[in-house]
Amino acid sequence: MKLTFTDWLVVAAYFLANLLIGLHYRKKASSSTGDFFVSGREVSWWLAGTSMVATTFAADTPLWVTGQVAQHGIAANWLWWSFLFSGMMTVFFFARLWRRAEVITDVEFIELRYAGKPAAFLRGFRALYFGLLMNCLIVGWVNLAMEKILMTALGVSKTTAVALILAIIALTSFYTFISGLWGVLWTDLIQFTLKMTMVIVLAYYGVKAAGGMDGLKAKLAQVDAARAASRGGSGSILSFIPDLHSPWMPLVTFCVYIGINWWANWYPGAEPGGGGYVAQRIFCARDEKHSLWATLWFNLAHYALRPWPWILTALASVVLYPHLADPEIGYIKVWVDYLPAALRGLMLAAFAAAYMSTIATQLNWGSSYLVNDFYRRFLVRHRPEAHYVTASKLATAFLAVLGTVVSLYLASVAQAWNVLLAIGAGTGGVYLLRWYWWRINAWSEVAAMTCAALTSAILSLGLGISTSTPLGFAHSILITVSVTTLVWLLVTLLTPPEPQTKLIEFYRRVRPSLAGWRTIAAQAPDVRASQDGWYNLLDWALGCLMVYMALFGIGKICLGATGMGITFLVIAAVSGYLIYWDFSRRGWEALSQ
């Protein structure tokens, strides 16, 4: 694909806009680490929520969706659609609690909830684990995806692609370095607007090239018939629900996804109970009400509004390029072959935006762990805020360099990524219940992480159960979650509880639900007790219904089933209204304290 001078001018203007935002917020982010990492807790819900959406819209995301849809159909998206259940729990059960905690990182929360050396060890370990290992692997993985995009779209060599990526990283690192989270939030807003606009435009031209919607569906029916004849399977590529007799998604695997995986396993961006950069955006929200609305907007946009432009382009690529060895490349080929020349520069800028929004968050979020939870906590204490702001900027630059180095060796660490994720398998129960059961202690988390890692290793290396196959994944999750849950529960009951002074301090500050804290609440009768668990559960169910109905309604309208689509959207609207009515009835002022 050849770009004109105008195309490059558009790309340059986009980069300049990001740089100017960074320069604008450089002073506002330099007063303290609170300003640098959580924007002084002054952010409105729409900005914080949009930033969450932008961060999860990485450069590789539409490529991954294209590959899955090409192989297994629309229903393949249940691999990530199932995490909505976890996201909605964050909205109604955890967002307000996180905001009340008044911490800078979710790792700092550990020493708010637990006491003594076990808590200190856990905080230091998780700061390095997430800040260095996981963070750099994510940066390296996204770098590799951007490399594929540039090589395919521009027809350049790997060396040239790496050079371009280094230039983008340098710019991203610079505005993140000088402006902290303020710069990340506002550039995320611009980046999300640009990339959503362009993926919608690309979906339009992709469907048009495939013969319009009617022509596309007719050709996909032929694809279904050919696959049924060759594979002996059933099910349509356009189906929203997977064929539960198919090899790629048997019934047991689907049940694991919708019944266990979303709450039991840790995964970046979908942590049980919230965490990571989602928690960081909650911390920066203006108050509890804004934290709830931010996470609700994130889940609605993330699961219902964003997927369909990717899916439509993916479906078009199946028809236009039926024999690709790597079906993910189909998304880029639709861009190169069918997008008008006048829009190609904007599409390149959109991919750069998707890449930069993820990188900027990873750098700021990762440096918050390294500085706030390791350097400041264990190495250099009681220094002026200016010292830690400078350390934060240096940590940002360090992570940018380290993430780039990791990307050069990613092929050799791909298996390490799976091993590191295994540490989070089965730990979700602890992360959920530590807010709602006073008896959980630091050893509960240590036991859960240790047991999950050991169990996963034994299943994979000792028994040969591979998570790369659908049945292997289901069996591995079922065994790991069962063993890990049993072990951490036993450890919890066999070890002493946290000191009562620490538990009372936590209860006063966070005000968790009375149900699991009655023993501690009795020692703090002056604290207003929270007893809204059943209402939160109802709102969680309504929130899930709202988003899934919006998701399926938009999809049905896009695919031509307008009547059914409108019906689904009406159900979504009614569910949203009931949520608003419930919180209005309970009193919105309670969410602003």
Q: What is the DSSP string of 442-464?
A: HHHHHHHHHHHHHHHHIIIIIS-
Q: What's the pLDDT score for residue 59?
A: 82
Cα–Cα dist 53/191, whole Å: 10
* Residue matched to tokens 């750069």: 352
Q: What is the pLDDT of residues 131-185, one digit of tens each?
A: 888 888 888 888 888 888 888 888 888 888 888 888 888 888 888 888 888 889 9
What amino acid is encoded at 576 in this protein? G
Cα–Cα dist 200/208, whole Å: 12
Task: Give the predicted TM-score (pTM) of the model.
Answer: 0.92
Cα–Cα dist 381/302, whole Å: 39
DSSP class of residue 8?
Answer: H
Q: What's the pLDDT score for residue 593?
A: 47
Q: Is the pLDDT of residue 265 over 80?
A: yes
Return all residues near 262 (Cβ < 8 A) that are at least 6 apart.
Answer: 82, 83, 84, 85, 86, 270, 272
Residue 378, both tokens? 């264990």
Q: Is the pLDDT of residue 522 over 70?
A: yes
Return all residues near 275 (Cβ < 8 A) that are at least 6 apart.
Answer: 106, 266, 431
Q: What is the pLDDT of residues 459-478, one digit of tens each?
A: 888 888 877 788 888 898 99
The structural domains of the chain, with segments of one domain joined by +, span: 5-414, 538-593
Q: What is the mean pLDDT of the chain?
A: 89
Domain 5-414, CATH among 1.20.1730.10, 1.10.150.20, 3.40.50.720, 3.60.40.10: 1.20.1730.10
Q: What's the pLDDT score for residue 418?
A: 58
Q: What's the pLDDT score for residue 334?
A: 94
Q: Is the pLDDT of residue 230 over 80?
A: no
Residue 423 pLDDT grade (very low, low, confident, very high; cuts 50, 70, 90): low
* Residue matched to tokens 């939870």: 373
> What average pLDDT does this structure show over 205-234?
86
What percent of the chain is predicted at pLDDT more than 90?
Answer: 54
